[in-house]
């Protein structure tokens, strides 16, 4: 049986007679591994370390675990009426600006939705037209494909100038 498969191989017993090696010479896996790496060697190899709790300074003075009131100390002077009014105005100005931006964004979204709806209606209207009607609209907009049938296109242009041949009527 292979050595790594023997679960009882690491146990030493006095009745173990098939082993030629003395128990003191056997080494465990932990003994074979190298010692912990030196931090300086790791940094030299390119490894970086994060913040450590070992470098946090000891607290100085007496610390209080009570809830704070949001002020620097217990002896802080109360907020003056002018300061309070300035704070209120700054907060209101920020809210008004945010409201204005939100309203503008909502209006823009509404316009885009309306444009999309009109575009969809136009597409639906185009689908309802016959082929001749769609081609007529393209000709009026100057979007007709002129390189497909040269003779028909020339006849159409001639009719636009009042020239009618008896051939195509």
* Residue 106 pLDDT class (50, 70, 90 cuts): very high
* Residue 95 pLDDT class (50, 70, 90 cuts): very high
Measured between alpha carbons, how far is 66 from 70 in angstroms, rounded to an integer?
12
| pLDDT of 50 | 73
Residue 130 is assigned to a structural domain of this protein: yes
Encode pLDDT of 116-166 as tens digits.
999 988 888 877 878 888 788 888 887 766 566 777 778 878 888 888 777
Residue 102 is assigned to a structural domain of this protein: yes
Measured between alpha carbons, how far is 58 from 92 in angstroms, rounded to an integer?
43
Encode pLDDT of 2-43 as tens digits.
556 556 666 655 554 555 555 555 555 555 556 777 878 888
Encode pLDDT of 39-73 as tens digits.
788 888 888 877 777 778 887 877 777 777 776 66
Higher pLDDT, 79 or 116: 116
Residue 14 is assigned to a structural domain of this protein: no
DSSP string, 101-160: HHHHHHHHHHHHHHHHHHHHHHHHHHHHS-HHHHHHHHHHHT---TTS-HHHHHHHHHHH
Residue 56 is assigned to a structural domain of this protein: no
Residue 96 is assigned to a structural domain of this protein: yes
38 DSSP 8-state letter: P
Task: Kindly report the pTM of this predicted structure.
Answer: 0.30
Residue 107 is assigned to a structural domain of this protein: yes
89 pLDDT above the threshold of 80: yes
Measured at the alpha carbon of residue 47, what is the angle toward residues 41 and 52, in degrees to the nearest 5? 95
Q: What is the mean pLDDT of residues 74-100?
A: 86
Residue 91, domain extent = 86-142
Residue 51 exposure: Cα atoms within 13 Å on the Cβ side = 3
Domain count, the chain: 1
Residue 19 is assigned to a structural domain of this protein: no
- Residue 18: strand, helix, or coil: coil
Residue 119 is assigned to a structural domain of this protein: yes
DSSP string, 63-96: ---SPP-SSSSTTPPPPPHHHHHHHHHHHHHHHH
Measured between alpha carbons, how far is 164 from 169 in angstroms, rounded to an integer?
8
């Amino acid at each position: 049986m292979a050595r790594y498969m023997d679960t009882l191989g690491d146990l030493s017993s006095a009745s173990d007679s098939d082993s030629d090696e003395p128990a003191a010479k056997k080494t465990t896996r932990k003994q074979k591994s190298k010692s912990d790496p030196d931090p300086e060697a790791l940094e030299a190899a390119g490894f970086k370390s994060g913040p450590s709790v070992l470098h946090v300074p000891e607290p100085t003075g007496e610390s209080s675990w009570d809830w704070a009131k949001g002020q620097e100390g217990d002896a802080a002077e109360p907020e003056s009426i002018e300061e309070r009014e300035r704070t209120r105005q700054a907060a209101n100005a920020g809210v008004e600006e945010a409201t204005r931006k939100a309203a503008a964004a909502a209006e823009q979204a509404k316009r885009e939705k309306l444009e999309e709806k009109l575009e969809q209606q136009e597409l639906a209207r185009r689908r309802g037209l016959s082929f001749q009607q769609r081609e007529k609209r393209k000709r009026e907009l100057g979007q007709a494909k002129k390189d497909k049938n040269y003779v028909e296109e020339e006849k159409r242009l001639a009719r636009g100038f009042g020239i009618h041949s008896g051939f195509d009527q």
